[in-house]
Amino acid sequence: MNHGVLARDLPTHEQVVAQARAVQPILAKHAATGESLRRLPDPVDAALTRAGMFRLQTPKRFGGYAAGVRTVLEVGEALGEADASASWLVVLGASASSLAARFGPQAQEEFFGSNPDARFAGSTNPGTARRVPEGLSVCGRWPYASGAYQADWALVGGVLPGEPEEAMLCAMPAAELTLENTWRTIGMRGTGSDTWVADDVFVPDYRAVSLGAIADGTLPPTADEPMYRLPAVPAVMVPLLAPLLGVGRAALRFVADNAQTKPLAGTTISRQRESVGLQIRIAEAAMRLSTARLHAYDMAATVDAAATDGRTFGYAARAEFRARLGYAAHQVVDALSILVDAHGAGSFAESSQLQQYWRDANTAARHAGLQATVGYEVYGKSILGVPERISSTV
Protein backbone atom coordinates (compact mmCIF):
# COMPACT_ATOMS: atom_id res chain seq x y z
CA MET A 1 0.00 0.00 0.00
CA ASN A 2 1.32 3.46 -0.88
CA HIS A 3 0.72 6.07 1.81
CA GLY A 4 3.08 8.64 0.31
CA VAL A 5 2.78 12.26 -0.56
CA LEU A 6 3.57 13.96 -3.84
CA ALA A 7 7.04 15.44 -4.14
CA ARG A 8 5.54 18.94 -4.43
CA ASP A 9 3.92 18.45 -1.00
CA LEU A 10 7.19 17.62 0.75
CA PRO A 11 8.83 20.43 2.73
CA THR A 12 12.07 21.78 1.31
CA HIS A 13 15.39 21.55 3.12
CA GLU A 14 15.00 25.18 4.20
CA GLN A 15 11.48 24.57 5.50
CA VAL A 16 12.51 21.54 7.54
CA VAL A 17 15.40 23.46 9.12
CA ALA A 18 13.04 26.36 9.84
CA GLN A 19 10.66 23.93 11.57
CA ALA A 20 13.55 22.80 13.76
CA ARG A 21 14.45 26.38 14.67
CA ALA A 22 10.81 27.10 15.50
CA VAL A 23 10.80 24.51 18.30
CA GLN A 24 14.04 25.76 19.90
CA PRO A 25 12.20 27.79 22.59
CA ILE A 26 10.17 24.84 23.88
CA LEU A 27 13.29 22.64 23.91
CA ALA A 28 15.21 25.22 25.92
CA LYS A 29 12.26 25.71 28.27
CA HIS A 30 12.08 22.00 29.16
CA ALA A 31 15.78 21.07 29.04
CA ALA A 32 16.10 21.06 32.83
CA THR A 33 13.01 18.86 33.12
CA GLY A 34 14.56 16.38 30.71
CA GLU A 35 17.66 16.26 32.89
CA SER A 36 15.51 15.48 35.94
CA LEU A 37 13.30 12.91 34.21
CA ARG A 38 16.29 11.41 32.34
CA ARG A 39 14.14 11.19 29.24
CA LEU A 40 12.47 13.46 26.72
CA PRO A 41 9.68 15.48 28.41
CA ASP A 42 6.23 14.89 26.95
CA PRO A 43 5.70 18.50 25.75
CA VAL A 44 9.01 18.36 23.87
CA ASP A 45 8.16 14.99 22.36
CA ALA A 46 4.80 16.34 21.18
CA ALA A 47 6.33 19.52 19.73
CA LEU A 48 9.00 17.61 17.84
CA THR A 49 6.41 15.20 16.45
CA ARG A 50 4.16 18.03 15.28
CA ALA A 51 7.15 19.64 13.59
CA GLY A 52 7.85 16.45 11.62
CA MET A 53 11.17 15.80 13.32
CA PHE A 54 10.54 12.07 13.64
CA ARG A 55 9.79 11.47 9.97
CA LEU A 56 12.99 12.96 8.55
CA GLN A 57 14.19 9.69 7.01
CA THR A 58 10.93 7.77 6.85
CA PRO A 59 10.41 6.63 3.22
CA LYS A 60 8.33 9.02 1.13
CA ARG A 61 5.79 6.37 0.23
CA PHE A 62 4.75 6.27 3.90
CA GLY A 63 4.48 10.04 4.25
CA GLY A 64 8.07 10.66 5.32
CA TYR A 65 10.59 13.17 4.03
CA ALA A 66 13.41 10.73 3.09
CA ALA A 67 15.72 13.64 3.85
CA GLY A 68 19.38 13.62 2.96
CA VAL A 69 22.16 13.53 5.52
CA ARG A 70 22.86 17.25 5.21
CA THR A 71 19.26 18.06 6.13
CA VAL A 72 19.35 15.77 9.17
CA LEU A 73 22.69 17.26 10.21
CA GLU A 74 21.49 20.85 9.95
CA VAL A 75 18.23 20.07 11.74
CA GLY A 76 20.14 18.36 14.54
CA GLU A 77 22.58 21.24 14.85
CA ALA A 78 19.71 23.71 15.22
CA LEU A 79 18.01 21.56 17.86
CA GLY A 80 21.32 21.00 19.64
CA GLU A 81 21.69 24.72 20.28
CA ALA A 82 18.63 24.45 22.52
CA ASP A 83 18.92 20.90 23.93
CA ALA A 84 21.54 18.33 23.02
CA SER A 85 19.44 15.41 24.27
CA ALA A 86 16.46 16.30 22.09
CA SER A 87 18.77 16.76 19.13
CA TRP A 88 20.36 13.37 19.79
CA LEU A 89 16.99 11.63 19.79
CA VAL A 90 15.93 13.31 16.55
CA VAL A 91 19.09 12.49 14.60
CA LEU A 92 19.33 9.00 16.06
CA GLY A 93 15.66 8.51 15.26
CA ALA A 94 16.30 9.56 11.67
CA SER A 95 19.20 7.13 11.41
CA ALA A 96 17.07 4.35 12.88
CA SER A 97 14.30 5.07 10.37
CA SER A 98 16.93 4.84 7.64
CA LEU A 99 17.96 1.42 8.96
CA ALA A 100 14.33 0.31 9.16
CA ALA A 101 13.91 1.32 5.52
CA ARG A 102 16.50 -1.32 4.64
CA PHE A 103 14.15 -4.11 5.76
CA GLY A 104 11.79 -5.76 3.31
CA PRO A 105 8.37 -4.40 2.26
CA GLN A 106 6.37 -6.42 4.81
CA ALA A 107 8.44 -5.14 7.71
CA GLN A 108 8.33 -1.57 6.42
CA GLU A 109 4.55 -1.74 6.20
CA GLU A 110 4.44 -2.81 9.85
CA PHE A 111 6.85 -0.07 10.90
CA PHE A 112 5.48 2.88 8.97
CA GLY A 113 2.16 1.87 7.40
CA SER A 114 0.01 3.58 10.00
CA ASN A 115 2.66 5.81 11.55
CA PRO A 116 5.21 7.78 9.53
CA ASP A 117 6.52 9.12 12.85
CA ALA A 118 7.36 5.61 14.09
CA ARG A 119 10.05 5.63 16.75
CA PHE A 120 12.91 3.16 17.07
CA ALA A 121 15.44 2.58 19.83
CA GLY A 122 18.07 -0.05 20.31
CA SER A 123 21.63 -1.17 19.98
CA THR A 124 23.64 -3.39 17.68
CA ASN A 125 25.43 -4.87 20.69
CA PRO A 126 24.88 -8.60 20.23
CA GLY A 127 22.20 -10.51 22.03
CA THR A 128 21.71 -14.21 21.34
CA ALA A 129 19.47 -15.54 18.59
CA ARG A 130 18.48 -19.09 17.71
CA ARG A 131 16.65 -20.30 14.65
CA VAL A 132 13.06 -21.42 15.13
CA PRO A 133 10.38 -22.15 12.53
CA GLU A 134 9.80 -19.05 10.38
CA GLY A 135 12.13 -16.82 12.35
CA LEU A 136 14.40 -16.31 15.31
CA SER A 137 14.04 -16.41 19.07
CA VAL A 138 16.08 -13.62 20.61
CA CYS A 139 17.38 -13.06 24.14
CA GLY A 140 19.62 -10.37 25.53
CA ARG A 141 20.21 -7.02 27.17
CA TRP A 142 20.84 -3.91 25.11
CA PRO A 143 21.96 -0.85 27.07
CA TYR A 144 22.15 2.68 25.71
CA ALA A 145 18.82 2.39 23.88
CA SER A 146 18.33 6.13 23.42
CA GLY A 147 14.68 7.14 23.30
CA ALA A 148 13.40 3.75 24.40
CA TYR A 149 10.73 5.31 26.64
CA GLN A 150 8.90 6.72 23.61
CA ALA A 151 9.86 3.97 21.14
CA ASP A 152 7.39 1.92 19.13
CA TRP A 153 10.04 -0.56 18.03
CA ALA A 154 13.31 -1.99 19.30
CA LEU A 155 16.14 -2.53 16.81
CA VAL A 156 18.69 -4.85 18.42
CA GLY A 157 21.59 -7.05 17.43
CA GLY A 158 21.50 -10.82 17.68
CA VAL A 159 24.28 -13.33 17.04
CA LEU A 160 23.51 -16.88 15.97
CA PRO A 161 25.74 -19.36 17.86
CA GLY A 162 27.78 -21.38 15.41
CA GLU A 163 27.26 -18.71 12.76
CA PRO A 164 29.64 -15.97 13.95
CA GLU A 165 29.61 -14.14 10.65
CA GLU A 166 25.84 -13.83 10.66
CA ALA A 167 24.98 -11.12 13.18
CA MET A 168 21.42 -9.96 12.62
CA LEU A 169 19.55 -6.73 13.20
CA CYS A 170 16.19 -7.70 14.67
CA ALA A 171 13.08 -5.54 14.94
CA MET A 172 10.62 -6.19 17.77
CA PRO A 173 7.57 -4.29 19.00
CA ALA A 174 8.64 -2.32 22.06
CA ALA A 175 5.80 -3.85 24.08
CA GLU A 176 7.43 -7.29 23.78
CA LEU A 177 10.55 -6.21 25.70
CA THR A 178 11.18 -5.01 29.22
CA LEU A 179 12.77 -1.61 29.75
CA GLU A 180 15.15 -1.30 32.70
CA ASN A 181 15.84 2.15 34.09
CA THR A 182 19.64 2.19 33.93
CA TRP A 183 20.51 5.60 32.45
CA ARG A 184 22.50 7.32 35.21
CA THR A 185 25.03 9.65 33.65
CA ILE A 186 26.29 13.20 34.10
CA GLY A 187 25.55 14.20 30.51
CA MET A 188 22.93 13.68 27.79
CA ARG A 189 20.55 12.76 30.59
CA GLY A 190 17.43 13.61 28.63
CA THR A 191 18.06 10.89 26.04
CA GLY A 192 16.61 8.18 28.29
CA SER A 193 19.17 5.69 27.02
CA ASP A 194 17.92 2.83 29.17
CA THR A 195 18.32 -0.93 28.71
CA TRP A 196 16.09 -3.20 26.64
CA VAL A 197 15.73 -6.78 27.92
CA ALA A 198 14.31 -9.63 25.82
CA ASP A 199 13.62 -13.19 26.92
CA ASP A 200 12.92 -15.48 23.96
CA VAL A 201 11.11 -12.89 21.88
CA PHE A 202 10.03 -14.27 18.51
CA VAL A 203 11.23 -12.31 15.48
CA PRO A 204 9.81 -13.42 12.11
CA ASP A 205 12.31 -13.85 9.30
CA TYR A 206 11.13 -10.72 7.51
CA ARG A 207 12.01 -8.60 10.58
CA ALA A 208 15.65 -9.76 10.74
CA VAL A 209 18.36 -8.59 8.34
CA SER A 210 22.10 -9.14 8.17
CA LEU A 211 24.12 -6.48 9.98
CA GLY A 212 27.05 -7.21 7.69
CA ALA A 213 24.94 -6.54 4.62
CA ILE A 214 23.67 -3.30 6.16
CA ALA A 215 27.24 -2.20 6.87
CA ASP A 216 28.44 -3.05 3.36
CA GLY A 217 25.37 -1.75 1.55
CA THR A 218 24.73 -5.12 -0.08
CA LEU A 219 21.11 -5.69 0.95
CA PRO A 220 18.67 -5.98 -1.98
CA PRO A 221 17.14 -2.51 -2.50
CA THR A 222 13.67 -2.39 -0.94
CA ALA A 223 12.99 1.34 -1.16
CA ASP A 224 12.96 3.82 -4.02
CA GLU A 225 15.15 6.35 -2.22
CA PRO A 226 18.86 5.82 -3.05
CA MET A 227 19.94 6.84 0.47
CA TYR A 228 18.80 3.49 1.81
CA ARG A 229 21.10 1.59 -0.56
CA LEU A 230 24.30 3.08 0.87
CA PRO A 231 26.52 1.38 3.45
CA ALA A 232 24.95 2.25 6.77
CA VAL A 233 27.88 3.61 8.75
CA PRO A 234 28.56 6.87 6.89
CA ALA A 235 24.87 7.44 6.21
CA VAL A 236 23.68 6.89 9.78
CA MET A 237 26.74 8.00 11.76
CA VAL A 238 27.48 11.44 10.31
CA PRO A 239 24.27 12.95 11.81
CA LEU A 240 25.49 12.00 15.30
CA LEU A 241 27.83 14.98 15.09
CA ALA A 242 24.86 17.36 14.96
CA PRO A 243 24.16 17.65 18.71
CA LEU A 244 27.85 18.35 19.31
CA LEU A 245 27.89 21.07 16.67
CA GLY A 246 24.82 22.68 18.20
CA VAL A 247 26.21 22.54 21.73
CA GLY A 248 29.50 24.00 20.52
CA ARG A 249 27.76 26.89 18.82
CA ALA A 250 25.64 27.60 21.91
CA ALA A 251 28.67 27.47 24.22
CA LEU A 252 30.70 29.85 22.06
CA ARG A 253 27.82 32.30 21.98
CA PHE A 254 27.36 32.02 25.77
CA VAL A 255 31.02 32.76 26.54
CA ALA A 256 31.31 35.55 23.97
CA ASP A 257 28.12 37.24 25.21
CA ASN A 258 29.20 37.08 28.85
CA ALA A 259 32.68 38.35 28.01
CA GLN A 260 31.14 41.71 27.14
CA THR A 261 30.51 42.49 30.82
CA LYS A 262 32.19 39.79 32.94
CA PRO A 263 35.43 40.85 34.69
CA LEU A 264 38.54 38.75 34.24
CA ALA A 265 39.04 37.20 37.67
CA GLY A 266 42.27 38.01 39.48
CA THR A 267 43.14 40.93 37.20
CA THR A 268 42.40 44.62 36.78
CA ILE A 269 40.62 43.90 33.48
CA SER A 270 36.99 44.91 33.99
CA ARG A 271 35.64 43.09 30.93
CA GLN A 272 36.91 39.78 29.59
CA ARG A 273 36.52 41.00 26.03
CA GLU A 274 39.46 43.36 26.59
CA SER A 275 41.88 40.55 27.47
CA VAL A 276 44.24 39.65 24.63
CA GLY A 277 44.73 36.22 26.16
CA LEU A 278 40.99 35.57 26.18
CA GLN A 279 40.64 36.88 22.64
CA ILE A 280 43.19 34.32 21.49
CA ARG A 281 41.50 31.48 23.35
CA ILE A 282 38.05 32.39 22.02
CA ALA A 283 39.45 32.42 18.49
CA GLU A 284 41.07 29.02 19.01
CA ALA A 285 37.79 27.54 20.26
CA ALA A 286 35.92 29.04 17.31
CA MET A 287 38.43 27.57 14.86
CA ARG A 288 38.10 24.11 16.40
CA LEU A 289 34.33 24.33 16.11
CA SER A 290 34.64 25.47 12.50
CA THR A 291 36.95 22.54 11.79
CA ALA A 292 34.42 20.10 13.22
CA ARG A 293 31.64 21.70 11.21
CA LEU A 294 33.63 21.62 7.97
CA HIS A 295 34.33 17.91 8.41
CA ALA A 296 30.70 17.15 9.28
CA TYR A 297 29.15 19.02 6.36
CA ASP A 298 31.75 17.78 3.90
CA MET A 299 31.00 14.19 4.91
CA ALA A 300 27.26 14.87 4.63
CA ALA A 301 27.69 16.33 1.14
CA THR A 302 29.80 13.33 0.09
CA VAL A 303 27.18 10.87 1.33
CA ASP A 304 24.30 12.75 -0.29
CA ALA A 305 26.16 12.99 -3.61
CA ALA A 306 26.93 9.27 -3.56
CA ALA A 307 23.26 8.49 -3.00
CA THR A 308 22.21 10.77 -5.87
CA ASP A 309 24.85 9.36 -8.23
CA GLY A 310 24.25 5.73 -7.32
CA ARG A 311 27.77 5.28 -5.97
CA THR A 312 28.79 3.39 -2.86
CA PHE A 313 31.70 3.38 -0.41
CA GLY A 314 34.33 0.69 -0.13
CA TYR A 315 36.01 -0.23 3.14
CA ALA A 316 38.87 2.27 2.73
CA ALA A 317 36.48 5.18 2.30
CA ARG A 318 34.38 4.03 5.25
CA ALA A 319 37.51 3.76 7.41
CA GLU A 320 38.33 7.38 6.60
CA PHE A 321 34.78 8.40 7.53
CA ARG A 322 35.20 6.57 10.84
CA ALA A 323 38.38 8.51 11.67
CA ARG A 324 36.89 11.84 10.63
CA LEU A 325 33.85 11.29 12.83
CA GLY A 326 36.04 10.89 15.90
CA TYR A 327 38.30 13.77 14.91
CA ALA A 328 35.36 16.14 14.47
CA ALA A 329 33.73 15.08 17.74
CA HIS A 330 36.88 15.71 19.71
CA GLN A 331 37.45 19.09 18.10
CA VAL A 332 34.17 20.08 19.76
CA VAL A 333 35.23 18.57 23.10
CA ASP A 334 38.53 20.44 22.96
CA ALA A 335 36.72 23.67 22.10
CA LEU A 336 34.42 23.22 25.11
CA SER A 337 37.43 22.74 27.37
CA ILE A 338 38.88 26.02 26.10
CA LEU A 339 35.58 27.83 26.57
CA VAL A 340 34.98 26.72 30.16
CA ASP A 341 38.58 27.65 30.96
CA ALA A 342 38.12 31.07 29.39
CA HIS A 343 34.82 31.73 31.13
CA GLY A 344 36.21 30.75 34.52
CA ALA A 345 35.08 28.89 37.62
CA GLY A 346 31.52 30.11 37.15
CA SER A 347 31.27 27.66 34.25
CA PHE A 348 30.63 24.91 36.76
CA ALA A 349 27.88 26.57 38.75
CA GLU A 350 24.76 24.42 38.64
CA SER A 351 22.86 27.45 37.38
CA SER A 352 25.22 27.94 34.42
CA GLN A 353 24.20 26.69 31.01
CA LEU A 354 27.86 26.24 30.18
CA GLN A 355 28.34 23.32 32.55
CA GLN A 356 25.50 21.45 30.84
CA TYR A 357 27.01 22.14 27.43
CA TRP A 358 30.33 20.77 28.71
CA ARG A 359 28.71 17.66 30.23
CA ASP A 360 26.61 16.92 27.16
CA ALA A 361 29.47 17.37 24.70
CA ASN A 362 31.81 15.17 26.69
CA THR A 363 29.18 12.45 27.01
CA ALA A 364 28.01 12.49 23.38
CA ALA A 365 31.57 12.35 22.06
CA ARG A 366 32.09 9.04 23.85
CA HIS A 367 29.52 7.25 21.69
CA ALA A 368 31.16 4.13 20.27
CA GLY A 369 30.92 5.44 16.73
CA LEU A 370 32.61 8.72 17.64
CA GLN A 371 35.58 7.32 19.57
CA ALA A 372 38.58 8.96 17.96
CA THR A 373 41.19 6.42 19.06
CA VAL A 374 39.29 3.52 17.52
CA GLY A 375 38.60 5.52 14.37
CA TYR A 376 42.25 6.41 13.96
CA GLU A 377 43.32 2.79 14.39
CA VAL A 378 40.76 1.63 11.84
CA TYR A 379 41.92 4.26 9.36
CA GLY A 380 45.60 3.67 10.04
CA LYS A 381 45.24 -0.07 9.42
CA SER A 382 43.44 0.71 6.17
CA ILE A 383 46.14 3.12 5.00
CA LEU A 384 48.90 0.63 5.81
CA GLY A 385 47.12 -2.37 4.30
CA VAL A 386 46.71 -4.21 7.60
CA PRO A 387 43.76 -6.57 6.98
CA GLU A 388 42.59 -6.88 10.60
CA ARG A 389 39.16 -5.34 11.20
CA ILE A 390 38.61 -4.35 14.82
CA SER A 391 35.20 -2.65 14.58
CA SER A 392 31.86 -3.48 13.02
CA THR A 393 30.91 0.20 12.84
CA VAL A 394 32.89 0.90 9.68
SS3 96: helix
Contact between residue 383 and residue 204 where contact means Cβ atoms under 8 Å apart: no
The DSSP H or E segment spanning 342 is helix 315-343
Parse the chain into domains and list their residue ranges.
13-113, 120-211, 232-384
Instruction: Say yes or no: domain 120-211 is CATH 2.40.110.10.
Output: yes
Instruction: Give the least confident one: 5-19, 95-109, 234-248.
Output: 5-19
What mean pLDDT is reported for the chain?
94
Percent of the chain past pLDDT 70, that is, above it, reads 97
Question: pLDDT of 262-320, one tens digit each?
Answer: 999 999 999 999 999 999 999 999 999 999 999 999 999 999 999 999 899 999 999 99
What CATH number labels 232-384? Answer: 1.20.140.10
Instruction: Please give the single-letter amino acid code of residue 9.
Output: D
Q: What is the pLDDT of residue 5?
A: 54
What pLDDT is stored for residue 229 in this prediction? 85
Give the pLDDT of residue 215.
84
According to the model, what pLDDT value does residue 217 have?
A: 84
**pLDDT (0 to 100) of residue 41:** 98
232-384 and 13-113 share a CATH fold: no
Residue 258 has pLDDT above 90, yes or no: yes
Residue 314 and residue 81: Cα distance in Å, rounded?
34
Within 8 A by CB and 6+ apart from 309, the residues are none
User: If you classify domain 13-113 with CATH, what class do you get?
Assistant: mainly alpha
The pLDDT tens digits for 114-169 are: 999 999 999 988 899 999 999 999 999 999 999 999 999 999 999 988 876 678 99
pTM: 0.95
What dihedral angle (degrees, nearest 10) is formed by the CA atoms of 193, 199, 200, 203? -20
pLDDT per position as a tens digit, 212-245: 888 888 888 776 788 888 888 899 999 999 999 9
Beta-carbon contacts of 26 under 8 Å, excluding residues fewer than 6 positions away, are 43, 44, 47
